Amino acid sequence: MPALPEDQLHPPLRGWSRVWRYLVAAAVGVGAWAAASADRLSAPLTAAQQDVLGAVLFVDLVVGAGTLALLPLRRRYPLAVASLTTAASAVSVAGMGPAALAVVSMATWRRRTWVVVVAAVFLAARAVSEFGYIPLFVPAPGVLDTSVGIILGLVSYAATVAIGYYAATRRALIASLQERVVTAERERALTTEVAREAERTRIAREMHDVLAHRISLVALHAGALAYREDLDRVQTAETARTIQGNAQLALTSSARFSECCGPGPARTASSHHSRPSPSWRPCSPTRGRLARRSSSTPRTSRQWPAGSCRGFPRRSRAPRCGSCRSR
């Protein structure tokens, strides 16, 4: 699995995520302190021993509160906080909960050197607690009980380290899956955009051919109309209608091309309707003036010989259509 940045392996905690961790650590510490207090006070003690044990239990609770206050720094100084809370567990049963949370947070960094250092501190703290601190106010336990206590402490430490490694692995897996989803979405969007651009290019080429054909027809008939000055009114109007029809088809094709090959998803309906489509309406007065001028200008009529193409005689300088060329 590739290395991920620390902000993904250790994301910032929200308010409730931070609070419930502190509550669990405090509950574990208070529960352990209550159990230890009940066990120690259950033995017959003198008044002086009761006073000493009460002071020890109070110091135990204060040290546990101090270790709980160090937990907000566990992400900034994971090794230092884990070492201090583990060392404090030598004289404080109430600090077991905060120490466990600090060890879990330290293990999420997945650094073996840190795990070994904190394990050494934990062994030293357990040795001091079993052989030096507890015998001061309670009868010294047997060697078997001490050994069992140390072994159980090591098992609990290994369990907390395993929980930290599991949390780090799960965070890395979730971050990797999120990165894969983002990459897949980006690739899908890129593929869609490439396919869209390819389709636009294909449509543009087809529309270019169509428009080139229409404009060629318009140029052909316009050139023929300019070349032949002896056409009568009917022939001039027919040629003008041919030019108008081809121009209208070219405008319609251009409008359809603009609609289907616009800017893409960013184009909105308002921007689409705000741009007017090409039409013949602005040319209506010009068309009327041309029609009146054509009607007022007399032209000579002429009978076209057989074999002519669209009323044009077969001359070397006159444009000819495909049917005439094939003859």
Quote the pLDDT of residue 262.
59
Q: Would you say residue 137 has pLDDT above 90?
A: no
- Please count the residues of the chain: 327
Question: What's the whole-number average pLDDT of the chain?
Answer: 76
For residue 7, give both structure tokens.
């902000």
What are 71-114's pLDDT values in tens digits?
A: 999 989 999 999 999 999 888 999 999 999 999 999 999 899 99
Instruction: Return d(Cα 327, Cα 309) in angstroms, integer.
Output: 11
Task: State the pTM of this model.
Answer: 0.59
| pLDDT band of 316, cuts 50, 70, 90 | very low
Q: Is the pLDDT of residue 2 over 80?
A: no
Question: What whole-number percentage of the chain has pLDDT above 90?
Answer: 28
Q: Helices (DSSP H) in 108-232: which residue ranges?
A: 112-128, 143-227
The set of residues, in sequence order, having a beta carbon less than 8 Å from that of 129 and lying 6+ positions away, is 89, 90, 91
> In this predicted model, which residue has the larger pLDDT, 254 or 99?
99
pLDDT at 320 over 50: no
Least confident of 70-74, 109-113, 200-204, 257-261: 257-261
What would the mean pLDDT of 173-194 be, rounded to a whole number? 91
> From CA 182, how far away is CA 172, in angstroms rounded?
15
Do residues 84 and 67 touch, judged by C-beta distance below 8 A?
yes
Long-range contacts of 273-279 (CB under 8 A, 24+ apart): 278/251, 278/254, 279/251
